């Protein structure tokens, strides 16, 4: 079982950061921004279930194609530039990515920011290199964001969910993802 503090989880839910809907409410997006993801988030996928993957336009101009993850371990990570818990977890995801990508680890980070520019500025400022794109309604149709933020899923080589966690993970929890490589 992964360790998490009760207080941290309580703060996530009390602050209304428990789903992408918290950021998607309010004024309509500015011209040129991505349409908001309007779902409030659903349940985490059950361990052992197949996890379908969408094609995703990445911020670096490339595309994530579902076939890229065939036979690979993939971390799917939902985050936002405004999320304080993501600010603690994102460096850990970056470290996991840098250390284990040569062993076949893949990462697909999906930002729930309303504007792609907010997410790309955040990534650039911190030097994050993990593959990241925007959680658009098109992406959500294939891979809906579970309730919570951050949310971390691990999809095994067989396409099935090995881990599904909502809320901030501890460093040792992130390090344990490498056991599936």
Confidence grade of residue 169 (pLDDT, cut at 50, 70, 90): very high
- The reported pTM is 0.79
Helices 116-126 & 84-100, crossing angle to 10 degrees? 60
Please tell me which of 24-28, 39-43, 147-151 the model is most confident about, judged by mean pLDDT.
147-151
Q: How far is CA 83 from CA 61, 73, 86, 111, in A?
A: 24, 26, 5, 10
| pLDDT the model gives residue 41 | 75
The domains of the chain, with CATH numbers, are: 6-23+34-180 (3.40.30.10)
Q: Which pLDDT band holds residue 40 (cuts at 50, 70, 90)? A: low
């Amino acid at each position: 079982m992964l360790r998490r503090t009760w207080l941290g989880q309580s703060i996530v839910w009390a602050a209304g950061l428990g789903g992408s809907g918290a950021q998607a409410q309010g004024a309509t997006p500015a011209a040129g921004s991505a349409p908001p993801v309007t779902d409030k988030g659903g349940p985490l996928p059950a361990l052992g279930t197949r996890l379908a993957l969408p094609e995703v336009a990445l911020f670096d101009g490339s595309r994530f194609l579902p076939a890229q993850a065939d036979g690979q371990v993939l971390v799917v990570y939902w985050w936002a530039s405004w999320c304080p818990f993501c600010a603690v977890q994102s460096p850990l995801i970056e470290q996991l990515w840098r250390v284990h990508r040569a062993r076949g680890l893949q990462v697909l980070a999906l930002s729930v920011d309303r504007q792609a520019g907010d997410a790309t500025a955040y990534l650039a400022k911190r030097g994050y290199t993990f593959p990241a794109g925007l959680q658009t309604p098109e992406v959500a149709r294939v891979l809906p964001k579970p309730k919570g933020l951050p949310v971390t899923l691990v999809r095994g080589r067989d396409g099935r969910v090995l881990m599904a966690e909502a809320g901030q993970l501890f460093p040792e929890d992130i390090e344990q993802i490498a056991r599936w490589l």
